[in-house]
Amino acid sequence: MPMKNLIANFTTQLREAIAIGEKAVLTPSKNPIHNVLVSGLGGSGIGGTVMAQITDKEMKVPMIVNKDYFLPSFVNQNTLVIISSYSGNTEETVQAMETALTKGAKIVCVTSGGKIAAMAKENNCDTITIPGGNPPRASFGYSATQLLYVLQGNGLISDGFRKDLNDCITLLDKEAADTESASRVLAEQLIGKLPIIYCEARYEGIAIRLRQQINENSKMLCWHNVLPEMNHNELVGWTEPHPDAYVLMFRSVDDYSRTQKRMSITSDVVKKYTRNYFEIHSKGETQLQRSMYLLHYGDWLSWHIADMKSIDVTEVNVIDFLKGSLASA
C-alpha cells in the first residue's frame, strides 16, 4: 500500500490494533515485576519511547527503552522485557532478546514474524502478532498500541487507555481533513530548509518521531531538542543568523507553566536569527490524544515534503546497503 494511503488509514490501523490487543493472550509473570524494558529500534522502537512518556504518571515501576545490542545489567527475573521488532529480524533486537532469555526475564514479543517469532515459540514467550508487509515506520498504530495491552495485562496500568484509544480515533477522524491540509501548507515552507523541532520534555517521543519521519520519508536531515534542557545549552547557539533553519515548536495545553514561559522567551530569541518559525498546537483532552494528533500531523508533513520533492517516500536504499554490508562482514 502506498505511504499516503497508510497515513490516511491510520485510524483504521488503530481500530485493527485494538482488536488484536483485545484478543492477545498474556500469561502472568512468575515473579513480581520491578522494572520494564522495551527493546526495539527505528519504527519498531519509537512506540516504546512515546508510550513510556504517556504512562509515566501511572506506572509504579520504571520503564526504559533500549535501542542497542546490549541490555542494562539490572535486567533479571523481575524485569518485563518487551521485544518490539516489526520484521522480527532486527539484528540488534534479536541479540537483545537472546540476552533477556539468559537473564530469566519475563519476555513479551510484538512482531509480525521472523527470528523473533521463532525464538518466542521455542522459548514459550508471550507473542502478539501484528500484520506485516509495510515499512515499520508506517505501523506505529499496530506496535505502539500493543505496548499498552502488555502493560495492562501485567498489572502495571489500568484499562483506562481503552477509552482513550477510541477517543483518539474519534479525534483524528474529526480532524482528518484539516490535519492533511494544514500540514501541506507547512510542508511548502520547509522545502530547502533545515527543520529544528522543539517541544516540552514530556513530548520528546513525538519530536523524535517527526525527526525520524523527516529523515526517512522526506530524505532530509533535521534535529530536535527539548525544553527546559535546550535553554541550558543549545539556546546559546542562537547568536547569529540561520536563514536556512526552520524551527517547529510543539505546543500543548498541558505544557508545564514554567516551560510555557521558557517557550515564549525562546521563540523571541530564535526569531532574531531566523524568520522561519512555526508553532504546531496539539488537540485532544489527554496526553495520549494530543500525542497521536501531533504524530499524525507529523506523518502527513513528512509525506507532503517528499511529494513536493518528487521522491520515493518508501525508498531506504542507504539503510538496505548498511544491512547488506553488515550481513557480509
Query: Degrees (nearest 5) of the Cα angle 15, 16, 18?
Result: 65
Q: For residue 236, give every residue at least 6 positions away whose Cβ sits within 8 Å of its Cβ, in sequence order, or none.
A: none
Query: CA 179, CA 187: separation in Å to the nearest integer?
Result: 12
How big, in percent rounded to 5, are the helix, strand and coil portions of the chain?
A: 55, 15, 30
What are 272's three cell numbers?
532574531
Q: For residue 17, give every residue at least 6 positions away whose Cβ sits within 8 Å of its Cβ, in sequence order, or none.
A: 130, 141, 142, 145, 146
Peptide bond into 228 cis (omega under 30): yes
Cβ atoms of 168 and 288 closer than 8 Å: yes
267: closest CA among 199, 216, 319?
199
Strand stretches in 123-211, DSSP E:
126-129, 194-200
Query: Which of the residues are catalytic?
Result: 216, 232, 323
Beta bridge partners of 36: 63, 80
The sheet carrying 223-227 orders its strands as 223-227, 194-200, 245-251, 277-281
Using alpha carbons, list the distances in angstroms from residue 106 to 114, 171, 192, 225, 302: 20, 35, 47, 34, 37
Query: CA 300, CA 177: separation in Å to the nearest integer?
Result: 11
66: closest CA among 38, 42, 44, 91?
38
Query: Degrees (nearest 5) of the Cα angle 108, 114, 117?
Result: 30
